[in-house]
Amino acid sequence: MTAKKNRTAYVNARLLDPASGLDAKGALLTEGGEILDLGPKLFADGVPDGIERIDCQGHCLAPGLIDARVQLREPGYEHKETMTTASLAAASGGVTTMLCLPNTDPVIDGVALVELVKRRALDAGLINVHPYAALTQGLGGEQITEMGLLAEAGAVAFTDGIATVANAMTFRRALDYARTFDLLIVQHPEDPALANGGVMNEGELATRLGLAGIPTAAETILVERDLRLLELTGGRYHAAHLSTADAIEAVRRAKKKGLNVTCETAPPYFALNETAVGDYRTFAKLSPPLRDETDREAVIEGLKDGTIDLIASDHAPHDQDSKRLPFVQAENGIVGLETLLPLTLELVHNGSLPLLRALEAVTVAPARVFRLAGGVLAKGKPADLVLFDLEKPWKIDVERFRSKSKNSPFDGRPVQGVVLRTVAAGQPAFVQE
Domain residue spans in the chain?
7-61+383-431, 64-370
Q: What is the pLDDT of residue 433?
A: 84
**Gap between the Cα atoms of 296 and 302, Å rounded:** 10
The answer to whether 127 touches 85, Cβ cutoff 8 Å, is no
Query: What is the predicted pLDDT for the residue at 261?
Result: 98
314 has catalytic annotation: yes
CA atoms within 13 A on the CB side of 140: 8
Helices H, strands E: what count in the chain?
Answer: 14, 19
Please, what CATH class does the domain formed by 64-370 belong to?
Answer: alpha beta
DSSP letters along 335-383, please?
A: --TTTHHHHHHHHHHTTSS-HHHHHHTTTHHHHHHHT-S-S---TTSB-
What pLDDT score does 4 carry? 54
Catalytic residue among 314, 384, 389, 397: 314
Handedness of CA 235, 239, 245, 248 (dihedral sign): positive
Locate the DSSP E strands across 261-311: 261-265, 310-311
Identical fold for domains 7-61+383-431 and 64-370, yes or no, is no
Distance CA 333, CA 315 (A): 7
pLDDT for the residue numbered 297? 98
Q: Mean pLDDT per segment of 10 residues, for the chain of length 433 residues?
A: 70 98 98 96 93 97 98 94 96 98 96 94 91 98 97 98 98 97 98 97 97 98 98 96 98 98 98 97 98 98 98 97 96 98 98 98 98 97 98 97 96 98 97 92
Task: Compute CA distances 244 → 103, 217, 423, whole Å.
Answer: 24, 9, 35
Distance CA 201, CA 186 (A): 23
At residue 3, the pLDDT reads: 42
Neighbours of 124 (CB within 10 A): 18
pLDDT confidence of residue 5: 62
Fold of 7-61+383-431: Urease, subunit C; domain 1 (2.30.40)
What residues contact 72, with CB distance under 8 A and at least 6 apart?
81, 82, 83, 86, 98, 100, 101, 104, 117, 129
